[in-house]
Copies of this chain bind each other. A is one copy, B any other.
Amino acid sequence: MDKVEPVERRRGPSMDRRSERAHRAVLEAAAALFEDVGYARLTIDAVAARARVSKATVYRWWPNKAAVLMEAFLVAIERDVAFPDSGSVRTDLVEQAASLAQVLGERRLGMMVVALLGEAQNDDDLAQAFRGGWQEPRRAAGREVLHRAVERGQLRADLDLELVLDGVYGPVYLRLLYRHLPLDRSEIEKLVDQILDGIIAPNHPQGDLPSGAKSRT
């Protein structure tokens, strides 16, 4: 991901002239304030004040606080995308799940994701920016890892890769957003093992095994 190009930014011949300083200051202020007070109590007034920028300037470049926060989030995480290729699916998946867990596990970023997810339910522009800037690049990386593993014969050929991706990322999200239990490195390894190997007891006659599984014993 070379450059975040937020959907809500108006483009024009003279856009470049706009104050880079103001732009950065707003994003930093938004991130800092978000950490202090959370999304609901975050106000554009406060962001503008902390960034020593006028409110009008904020509204000139972003349509609402969700958009500001989205860009702040994307800036904060954009360097973290990883396309590992160790030759081992297991290692690569652990790597990716851990990278995701690192972002979501950081209090500030995790809360941002929930907040943005909430807003995106009612804001298509936001949803699109979220998907394009955050979700899809990560899934693309995961898809790549899985694809290579299938080609190497490490994974079954008949997999629905999207479903596998959900199988890996879903539990990470769930743990870190509900925060019902911690998710450290060793848990992530257990999770990946579980996904790779399945959970059924070996050598046990299962009355209802699916075709793929049946052939395995």
A181 CB within 8 Å of chain B: yes
Scan A90-109; emit 1 where CB is below 8 A from any B CB, else 0: 11000000000000000000
Instruction: Establish whether residues B171 and A163, one from each chain, have CB atoms under 8 Å apart when the complex forms.
Output: yes
Instruction: Establish whether residues B154 and A200, one from each chain, have CB atoms under 8 Å apart when the complex forms.
Output: yes
| Known pairs A40-B122, A200-B154, A202-B215; A193 contacts B210 (CB<8 A) | yes
Which chain B positions have C-beta within 8 A of A181?
162, 166
Which chain B positions have C-beta within 8 A of A167?
167, 170-171, 191, 194-195, 199
B-contacting 9-mer, from A5-13, A14-22, A68-76, A172-180: A172-180
Cβ-defined partner of A39 (8 Å) among B118, B170, B196: B118
A156 CB within 8 Å of chain B: yes
Give 16 new A-B contacts, CB below 8 A, not counting A154-B206, A163-B171: A39-B118, A40-B119, A87-B207, A110-B121, A111-B122, A114-B117, A117-B118, A139-B180, A166-B175, A166-B191, A173-B173, A193-B210, A193-B213, A195-B198, A195-B199, A202-B215
